[in-house]
Chain A
């Protein structure tokens, strides 16, 4: 969040506090929808400022939220989204990249754990020495790349979707089918990779890999906490 946006965000936080009950819930919902739909951060704060002003007036006059907005919140947001400035493709990529990197960290971490623990169990059962190496196969790399691309694609499609309408029963079933399909596809991919691409492409010292993961997890945690604190202060 740049300084101009942070300043307006601080001002909006003060004004928001004057809204009560349904009005407070309404502005929260509206801001959430706009942020989810990739509206530029500064534009979100400008709209928030204007709509809070509108709701405050309605609160004073005793009008309901629906009367103030001329309909339900979703329809109101749909009309706003037609005119609201969206984040640039580069900005969306950068933001989604964080999610993809976290996904990659988790995927590779799980792979590291399963590989290392699996090997340790075999060594304990057979009485052989543990070689303290992490074997990364071609299948592993293929799985990570495809899943990361899938996460990015799903995030991008979901956030680009124009409609905020209430999900119909059909849409819910479609979403469920999509989720099941994606999960099944991921499991199939993992199995195929293990079966057809077993060749090792990289060997890393397990201790070093473990230390890197712990460091990466710590950096991510600190970064998240700092971002949260910065938002709270703003």
Chain B
């Protein structure tokens, strides 16, 4: 299970990417995150992030009636959201490269590194 502190900085960017792929509603986002290996992310964790993204103009929300039952709130990405997502991808690329390099240089881990 990924610790929540580690997820904190990346969840918004990941949600943006999921929304970018197609118009989607809240519950589907948590299911998508689960499919990609993020574990159980509660709706209550996702909802405030969606609110912040909407407030910052990164996504828009529209209510649609569904055949299955009550109307649902669908989210779609905006131009601003696209721009934020590009920045997130660039930052994530830098971070993941740095972390991977750090762990690669540590190998082989057999206690001989500092001699």
Residues of A within 8 A of B (CB): 15, 47, 50-51, 53-54, 56-58, 67-71, 76, 79-80, 82-85
**A83 touching B42 by the CB < 8 A rule?**
no
**A51 touching B47 by the CB < 8 A rule?**
yes
Query: Main SS of the interface on chain B?
Result: helix
User: How far does the alpha carbon of A169 sit from the alpha carbon of B1 in the complex, in Å?
Assistant: 35
Q: Give A71's nearest chain B residue, CB to CB.
A: B44
**A67 touching B42 by the CB < 8 A rule?**
yes
Q: Given the complex, which residues of B lie within 8 Å of A76, measured CB to CB?
A: 44, 48
Total CB contacts across the A-B interface at under 8 A = 44
> Which 5 interchain pairs have the tightest Cβ spacing?
A69-B44, A70-B42, A70-B45, A70-B44, A79-B48
**Taking the complex as formed, is B23 at the interface, i.e. its CB lies under 8 A from any CB of chain A?**
no
User: How far does the alpha carbon of A51 sit from the alpha carbon of B73 in the complex, in Å?
Assistant: 11
Q: Given the complex, which residues of A lie within 8 Å of B37, measured CB to CB?
A: none
Query: Main SS of the interface on chain A?
Result: helix
Residues of B within 8 A of A (CB): 26-27, 41-45, 47-48, 51-52, 55, 70, 72-73
Q: CB < 8 Å: which of A54, A71, A80, A82 contacts B43? A: A54
**A54 touching B45 by the CB < 8 A rule?**
no
User: How far does the alpha carbon of A58 sit from the alpha carbon of B43 in the complex, in Å?
Assistant: 9
User: How far does the alpha carbon of A218 sit from the alpha carbon of B44 in the complex, in Å?
Assistant: 45
User: How far does the alpha carbon of A10 sit from the alpha carbon of B52 in the complex, in Å?
Assistant: 26
**A82 touching B42 by the CB < 8 A rule?**
no
Q: Given the complex, which residues of A lie within 8 Å of B73, measured CB to CB?
A: 50, 53
Q: CB < 8 Å: which of A15, A54, A82, A85 contacts B47? A: A54
**B42 touching A68 by the CB < 8 A rule?**
yes
**B52 touching A82 by the CB < 8 A rule?**
yes
User: If the complex has contacts A57-B27, A70-B42, are A82 and B48 also in contact, measured as CB distance less than 8 A?
Assistant: yes
Q: Given the complex, which residues of B lie within 8 Å of A57, measured CB to CB?
A: 27, 43
**B70 touching A53 by the CB < 8 A rule?**
yes
Q: Given the complex, which residues of B lie within 8 Å of A50, measured CB to CB?
A: 26, 47, 73
Give the shortest distance, in Å, between B46 (CB) and chain A (any CB): 8
